[in-house]
Copies of this chain bind each other. A is one copy, B any other.
């Protein structure tokens, strides 16, 4: 009776303005997160605080800047995401850091790939997601309104603006049509009796899915440090922006600004 389709939670932040993707903060702990940071830190000295003041804020910021982030691991948050599959892959399975860098070795220029695979889930987080083995998907796809180009030389940056005459609307329409057809073929395949777990494998990776993500304040910061950076892929950066907005007040209270995160101070 009370078993319903997943709803958009109150306070959700839309990600792409398409009426589909969003991030919402759906649960958190009861105690002041800022006081928890300083008390988790001060227990080393058998001390505690009952009020949070400016010196505490400086301490919080200091701890974060110097990588002493374990005291940030005592406050947890649950987020509800609706995002394309490839964003989920980036957000929770792995990340590929930045791109191509040049430096000089023995007077010779060397161009080297730099990248990384980091499990964002390493910092104590939990993750439950819609399963395409069990549900038949809904035809919702992420379709960019504005497209981006490749950097001129290798993978120098994440991606670049396209020439002024690029037909964004046409590309959007084409992609929408491709996805519509892919979904028709998916439905037809299931109608012919093929298992959902097989049929889904031909669906493109911009299909929308949903998940709950429970993560500590340390994990949130780690995620933002990776994903707010300019060389993170635009789509995941958009989700990082939304997550940041949802915890902006919490972060400001512990002295951590968006700029400090982007500047890599943590």
Task: Name A residues whose Cβ lies closer than 8 Å to a Cβ of B.
Answer: 2-7, 26-31, 36, 39-51, 53-55, 58-59, 62-63, 66-71, 73-76, 78, 84-86, 89, 92-94, 96-97, 99, 101, 103, 105-106, 110, 112-119, 121-122, 124-131, 133-135, 138, 142, 144, 147-150, 155, 158-160, 162-163, 166, 171, 175, 178-179, 182, 185, 189-190, 192-198, 200-206, 210-212, 214, 216, 218, 233
State A45–B137 Cα separation when bound (angstroms). Answer: 10
A160 surroundings in chain B (CB, below 8 A): 195
B128 touches A70 (CB 8 A): yes
B48 touches A7 (CB 8 A): yes
A126 touches B214 (CB 8 A): no
Given contacts A31-B27, A124-B126, A200-B86, contact A162 B47 (CB under 8 A): no
Indicate which residue in B70, B74, B99, B155 contacts A116 across the interface (CB closer than 8 Å).
Answer: B70
Indicate which residue in B70, B149, B195 contacts A126 across the interface (CB closer than 8 Å).
Answer: B70
State A101–B41 Cα separation when bound (angstroms). Answer: 14
Indicate which residue in B113, B192, B212 contacts A39 across the interface (CB closer than 8 Å).
Answer: B212
Indicate which residue in B134, B138, B202 contacts A115 across the interface (CB closer than 8 Å).
Answer: B134
- Copies of this chain held together in the complex: 4
A131 touches B39 (CB 8 A): no
A202 touches B206 (CB 8 A): yes
B110 touches A97 (CB 8 A): no
B206 touches A162 (CB 8 A): no
Residue of B nearest to A7 (CB): B48
Beyond A94-B129, A148-B197, A150-B193, 11 additional contacts (C-beta under 8 Å) are: A28-B30, A29-B78, A31-B78, A41-B113, A43-B210, A74-B78, A96-B133, A133-B155, A149-B193, A178-B182, A202-B204
